[in-house]
Amino acid sequence: MAKSNVTYALEGGIVLIGLDRAEKRNAISDAVIEELRSAIERAGKEARAGVIFGHGDHFSAGLDLAEHVERTPFEGVQHSRKWHGVFDTIERGPVPYVAALHGAVVGGGLELAASTHIRVADESAFFALPEGQRGIFVGGGGSVRLPRLIGVSRMTDMMLTGRVYSATEGSSYGFAQYLVEPGGSLAKALELAERIAANAPLTNFAVLQALPMIAEANPQTGLLMESLMATVAQSDKEAKRRIRQFLEHKTAKVKPDKT
């Protein structure tokens, strides 16, 4: 039986999805994308939060270039649309995902990371879009998602000049929301996923489904959508239970994070 390219582990409602093709630096082949699709679909039915990470020394070297050499233009567009489907399910599906990043986070690997909701980079991570050097273009949603994170001008620079951002610089520019010591991204991502899984499900739904649409709507439509979403959320009995717990001093106060 062929070795699988994606590992799947569910514990306490948290799914750990690992790219497992370290010998090819977790390059994303057709088999990887299919296995990732199955993992994400399965997680949608059973997980409350998830972590996506890479086995070995790198998160992902991006598109499997060996498979890409002979694609016709039509196969190319179908391939790109397949990636869009899987990454959209990550971004717009029911499960909040944290990406744990280390080593190469490049090309399609960076596009995958950008489709998750929170990115944790360790200091070994580096970010690049070598598509420019390979004579191709991003095809996994990068031109839509990356400008939202880092701006069009930074992405333009990366693609035109092959600029590589270190973890430190990259995190300050919005590639990742958390920067941790080498080897620490998976543990931190898991800690965050556990916090997310403890939220009221309706709050997580609102953040994943309503927030991105509101942020991109015209302001008046956005404000109305916000009021409607807020009303639905606060009328849920879980919200009432949590607010009552606070008023009765039975739950933690807001305090600054240690890190």
Residues that bind ligand 1HE (CB under 6 A): 24-25, 27, 58, 61-66, 80, 83, 104, 106-108, 130-131, 134, 136, 138-140
Catalytic one among 46, 67, 70, 111? 111
At its nearest, how many Å lie between ligand 1HE and the CB of residue 116?
16
Q: Is the Cβ–Cβ distance between 131 and 138 less than 8 Å?
A: yes
182: its two tokens: 């080498």
Catalytic one among 67, 75, 131, 169? 131
Q: Is 169 a catalytic residue?
A: no
- Choose between 55 and 134: whose C-beta lies nearer to ligand 1HE: 134
- Choose between 129 and 192: whose C-beta lies nearer to ligand 1HE: 129
- Choose between 35 and 192: whose C-beta lies nearer to ligand 1HE: 35
Report the residue closest to ligand 1HE, judged by CB.
107
Q: Is 226 a catalytic residue?
A: no
- Choose between 110 and 189: whose C-beta lies nearer to ligand 1HE: 110
Q: What Rg do the C-alpha atoms of the chain give, in angstroms?
A: 19
Q: Is the Cβ–Cβ distance between 89 and 52 less than 8 Å?
A: no
- Choose between 50 and 103: whose C-beta lies nearer to ligand 1HE: 103
Please list the active-site residues. 111, 131
